[in-house]
Chains A and B, each alone.
Chain A
Amino acid sequence: MGALTVNTALLRQILVGFVRDEVYKVGVRKGVLGLSGGIDSALVAYIAAEALGPENVYAYTMPYRTSNPESEAHAKLVADSLGINYKVIEITPMVDAYFTLVPDADNMRRGNKMARERMTILYDHSAEVGGLVLGTSNKTELLLGYGTLHGDMASALNPIGDIYKSQVWELSEAMGVPREVIEKKPSADLWAGQTDEQELGFTYRAADELLYRMVDQRMSREELIAAGFEAQFVDNVHKKVQGSHFKRRLPIIAKVSHRTIDRDFRYARDWGK
């Protein structure tokens, strides 16, 4: 576990500074985020409130009729404890309107549609309040591809995308995220009783231990197995990382000119800022 523990004071300083700097340099002062009631968005709300001031953070909970009421209660608890702007926007009417047209859609399609519905609401509110959408995907779920492309993965900037779930827990403790939120089982809350770990088939702790060694330390398959990871687990996780890589990249462009965007037309996003 040693490898995944972090200096939370320093991590907090870097992430708070990141949000402040990257928001301000765009010329705005506000941040917008979806508050699910889970730990990732709670932590981002804490970071954003410290970076921008609670009055400049706009959080939205966007429940569907099957969402667990506890999620909304936890989101409200986070918003209240921080004193950030908070609103609940039901997505049931829009989502149901669509699914009356495609009634046979499975759980995955429904979950993705809900995530994308929430994304459009966040971007609309980003325009309304004049703030940037803050991402809430952590490194574990980004690497595993456990998120919806153009849904919960969409954001202008993401303060927690380079920290593993285990580190999210650790930093959340240090920043005072409410205990109920830290201790509950992670869930995308797409259907009743769903938990991430059940759906993934392994725990976040186990995945983090493996991913840290595989990705950060670049240990080979042989080294990982020698270190005590089961071959099947290593292969399964590796397959998820590789299979979801498209979600972490911009769309690829057919090259015909001498300067193709992102290929040989290369500028930082902070160009001129």
Chain B
Amino acid sequence: MDFTVALAQIKPKLGCLDDNLALIEAAIEKGIAAGADLVVFPELALTGYFLKDLVPEVALRLDAPQIERLKILSKRISIAVGLVEVSSDFRFFNSALYLEDGEIRHVHRKVYLPTYGLFDEQRYLARGDRFRAFDTRFGRVGMLICEDMWHLSAPYILAMDGAMTLICLSSSPGRGISGTEGLGSAAAWQKLTSTTAMFLNCRVFYCNRVGYEDGINFWGGSEAIGPSGDVTDRGAILEEDFVVAKVDGGALRRERIFSPMMRDENLAITVKELKRIDRENQC
């Protein structure tokens, strides 16, 4: 089926739940007005990224009133949004919610928490323990949060679990300026999103934030990528933007006929070999 996705390339305020909720609600209304069926937000859209000790202070339980409000809005448009989730045993997760028809359809807790260079996530956050695809009105979907996508196995598992649409919520800092080319981090991501789509015959929706936190910029450049790896729509670099992309449902069918890699993918061999490797590593 054809549908329209909106990528809300927003600039959240660090640690300001109320302000960010207002920003998100405004973008949702904008998406509805633009005729979008799905609106995707960046990682930690509700809180900002370099939270450090703010993590417990901005964390929400899944029954929080803020999430209730988003659930109600999801009766009018499907929503993928990032926030800090606190579990009943007081672990804090960098989570992405998928809301549709007034319900939370799926919660993905970020598995790969970058803790190197300028990143420090594992100091403050608990690690998710699964990648699961889930059914939506656009077919089967898988969600990834930023660094998750840099681990080949993550989108692979989602695709093998039947996802034909991968949504990646991101807060990617811009860095690596050189020569006449663009930002190093932007160039690397653009290769990654396109290649992932191509390898897995999946469409990819990538939403990255903008703005600065303590001098660190987030570069934006949100993208809708077709299942052949072609970027159909791209947001502005370093500026707020609202990308509205028409998704050609037939492109996925055609791509899977032209390059049936996922049809031919052999899960049994993969599982057998991974088990062997695991067994050998235990010795």
Do A and B pair up? The answer is: yes
Where the two chains meet, the residues of A that have a C-beta atom closer than 8 Å to any C-beta of B are 2-3, 5-7, 10-11, 13-14, 17-18, 21-22, 25, 157, 265-273
Residues of B within 8 A of A271 (CB): 14-15, 54
Q: Does B260 contact A (CB under 8 A)?
A: no
Contact status B178-A3, CB under 8 Å: yes
- Complex A-B: 11 CB contacts under 8 Å: A6-B179, A7-B177, A7-B178, A7-B182, A13-B238, A18-B215, A21-B212, A268-B51, A270-B14, A272-B15, A273-B16
Q: A240 to chain B: closest CB distance in Å?
A: 24
Residue B82, interface by CB 8 Å: no
Q: Which of A13, A17, A269 contacts B214 (CB 8 A)?
A: A269
Interface string of B48-83 (1 = CB under 8 A from A): 001111100000000000000000000000000000
Residues of B within 8 A of A (CB): 13-16, 50-54, 174, 177-183, 211-215, 217, 237-238
In the bound complex, how far is the Cα of B146 from the Cα of A206, in angstroms? 38
Do the beta carbons of A18 and B14 come within 8 Å of each other? no
Once the chains are docked, how many angstroms separate the CA of A10 from the CA of B238? Answer: 10
A273 to B13, CA, bound (A): 5
Given A18-B217, A272-B16, also A6-B53 (CB < 8 A): no
Known: A17-B212, A272-B13, A272-B16. A266 touches B177 (CB 8 A): no
Q: How far is the CA of A2 from the CA of B180 in the complex (A)?
A: 10
Judge whether B52 and A17 touch: CB under 8 Å.
no
**Would you list the 3 A-B pairs with minimal beta carbon distance, nearest first?**
A266-B52, A21-B212, A268-B50
B182 to A, closest residue via Cβ: A10
Contact for B52 among A10, A157, A268, CB less than 8 A? A268
Tell me if B's interface is mostly helix, strand, loop or mixed: loop
- The closest CB in chain A to the CB of B213 belongs to A270
Q: Closest chain B residue to A272 by CB distance?
A: B15
Q: Which residue of B lies closest to A21 (CB)?
A: B212
The answer to whether A14 and B180 touch across the interface, beta carbons within 8 angstroms, is: no
CA distance A10 to B215 in the complex (A): 16
Say whether, besides A7-B182, A10-B183, A265-B53, A18 and B177 are in contact (CB < 8 Å). no
A272 / chain B contacts, CB cutoff of 8 Å: 13-16
Taking the nearest CB of chain A, how far is it from the CB of B59, in angstroms?
Answer: 15
- Contact A17 B217, CB 8 Å, known A266-B53, A267-B52, A271-B14: yes
Identity of the chain A residue whose Cβ is nearest the Cβ of B54 in the assembled complex: A267
B19 (CB) vs chain A CBs: closest residue: A272
Which residues of A are found within 8 Å of B177, using beta-carbon distances? Answer: 6-7, 10-11, 14
Select from chain A the residue with minimum beta-carbon distance to B51: A268
Q: Which residues of A contact B50 (CB under 8 A)?
A: 268, 270
Cα-based distance from A266 to B214 in the complex (angstroms): 13
The interface residues of chain B lying within 8 Å CB-to-CB of A14 are: 174, 177, 217, 238
Shortest C-beta distance, B198 to chain A (Å), equals 27
Minimum CB–CB distance from A85 to chain B (whole Å) comes to 25
Tell me the minimal C-beta distance from A19 to chain B in angstroms: 10
In-complex Cβ contact of A2 among B15, B51, B179, B213 (8 A): B179
